[in-house]
Structure formats: C-alpha cells, structure tokens
C-alpha cells in the first residue's frame, strides 16, 4: 500500500495487498516455496520426527508451533492436534462435554462441527442463523434446555459471530463456549482474536484453510484446567509426562502432532 492510498482498501481504489492473482485451485499448496521446503528439510535433517523425544536437544516443531500460535492469538495456551475435527473433539472433551450433554450450534457449517459433538458423546442441537449467516443469539437462547452444556459459535467465511450476545447468553445460563474458527483464522471481534473469547477455540490448518500445513488443528485456551484436559485428551501418553493429580486424569487418544 502506498502513501498516496491513505489507508484505502483495494475495493475502494487502494493498492491491493496481493500483486498476483490467486491460482484457480489449491491456493495453499500453490503457495509452497523455498521457505516451506527448507522447514521440512530442517526436520528431516534433524532426525527429530516425534515431539517428545529424538536425537539432539532441539525443541520439537510441534512445540514451537504451539508457542507461536498462542502468542499470535494472545492466548495463554495452544495445543497442536492432527486436524480441525480433532481440535473440536478434543476441545469439547476439555470443557467437560460427555454423554447426553447438548451443544447448540448452527447447521450452516462443515459436518465436523456436529460430528465432533457426537464423538464426545454429546447431542448436537441446531439453532438458526441470522442475516449474517452466523449463529443467531436469540434462537440459541430459545434452544436451551436443562441438558444444554455448551454453545458452539462457528465463525464462517472469515466473519465473526455476535460473540458479545452469545457470551451473555452463556453467562446467564452457566454454559461453556467453544469457538469453531476453522474458516476464520486471523479474524477478530472487537479487538480480540477469534478463538480466544470463549472457553476454547478450535482451528484447522487443513489444505483449504487460510493457513495450511496440509493437515493440522490447534486448540487455544486461557484456562489452565481446559489446557490440562486438552493436553491429556489429545495424547494418551500426556498424563504420564506431566504432574497431574490422579483425580484430574482424562482418558486420551492419539490426536497428537509429531
């Protein structure tokens, strides 16, 4: 953007941030260049192919990603998992969703949002979207029952849900909030990064997403308890590698990133 643009967006005649057109297909893959190739070769040459151990004393790339991701989002914790779907399932377990618990979410989303609720043993409850094509806070409030335990706002196509109103509904009824940010990585709501407003935020780094590694997911949270439960559930071995109280232990699966 030049000084003459005076901060004008490209749609209003300012200089476009992108000087070359996007490829017709697979923009994430087509953007791979020497920097990405070097990062992969660095891992292979280090022989450190697993996050917990390997030759040398270097920090794993997964750990580096978590620290950088949390810092960019302004969150206290981030946990890298195998996919966006795994992030949702892990995050739901981490906030305490289990058999019979209802989670309110929109139908206008990818199937993974509802499937993750089922994977956690919960029951997806569909609420309407409003004129923004995002979750309608008024209909969310109307869908709450004695079995409702959480709300899942889905930030679609880069647009943020009406988080202030949704958080007010959640607070009034004592509900958890888990944000699906798979399609809005980098977006914000009133100065806060999407994914950091609720109890947990779940991101996808799948091939078609805004930032891609081919396949990956990330859970972010400011809660120490949610982070511990996320860490335990995403990796069956994690409780053995940290000092958790036996009363806190959560049975895990292998959603960990190498």
Whole-prediction pTM value?
Answer: 0.87
What pLDDT score was predicted for residue 139?
Answer: 98
Cα 146-95-206 angle, rounded to 5 deg = 120
pLDDT confidence of 258, banded at 50, 70, 90?
A: low
Give the mean model confidence (pLDDT) for residues 130-141.
96
Residue boundaries of the structural domains of the chain: 49-248
**Average pLDDT over the chain, rounded to whole?**
89
The residue that leads in pLDDT, 23 or 201, is 201
From the candidates 61, 73, 176, 209, which is the catalytic residue? 209
Nearest of 195, 188, 194, 247 to residue 220 by alpha carbon: 195
The residue that leads in pLDDT, 152 or 4, is 152
Give 35's contacts (C-beta < 8 A, 6+ positions apart). none
| pLDDT tens string 76-87 | 999 999 999 999
What pLDDT score was predicted for residue 55?
Answer: 86
Q: Assess whether 209 carries a catalytic annotation.
A: yes
Give the mean model confidence (pLDDT) for residues 66-82.
97
| pLDDT tens string 35-66 | 999 999 999 998 888 888 888 778 888 999 99
Assigned CATH for 49-248: 3.40.640.10
d(CA 134, CA 129): 5
| pLDDT tens string 219-247 | 999 999 999 999 988 887 665 555 555 54
What pLDDT score was predicted for residue 2?
Answer: 43
Question: Which stretches within 47-157 are classed as H helix?
Answer: 61-73, 84-94, 112-119, 137-143
């Amino acid at each position: 953007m030049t000084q003459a643009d005076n901060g004008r967006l490209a749609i209003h005649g300012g200089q476009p941030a992108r000087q070359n057109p996007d490829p017709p297909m697979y923009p994430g893959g087509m953007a791979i260049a020497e920097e990405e190739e070097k990062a992969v070769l660095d891992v292979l040459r280090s022989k450190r192919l697993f996050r917990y151990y390997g030759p040398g004393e270097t920090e794993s790339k997964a750990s580096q990603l978590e620290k950088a991701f949390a810092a960019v989002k302004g969150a206290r914790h981030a946990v890298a998992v195998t996919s966006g779907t795994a992030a949702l399932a892990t995050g739901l377990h981490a906030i305490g969703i289990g058999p019979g618990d209802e989670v309110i979410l929109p139908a206008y989303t990818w199937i993974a949002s509802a499937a993750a609720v089922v994977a956690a043993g919960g029951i997806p409850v569909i609420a309407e979207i409003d004129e923004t094509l995002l979750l309608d806070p008024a209909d969310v409030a109307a869908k709450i029952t004695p079995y409702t335990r959480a709300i899942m706002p889905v930030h679609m196509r880069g647009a943020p849900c009406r988080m202030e109103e949704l958080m007010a509904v959640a607070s009034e009824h004592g509900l958890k909030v888990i944000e699906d940010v798979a399609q809005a990585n980098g977006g914000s709501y009133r100065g806060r990064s999407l994914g950091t407003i609720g109890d947990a935020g779940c991101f996808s780094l799948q091939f078609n997403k805004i930032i891609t590694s081919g396949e990956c997911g990330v859970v972010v949270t400011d809660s120490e308890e949610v982070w511990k439960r996320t860490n335990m559930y995403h990796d069956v071995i994690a409780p053995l590698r940290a000092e958790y109280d036996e009363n806190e232990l959560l049975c895990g699966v292998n959603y960990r990133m190498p």
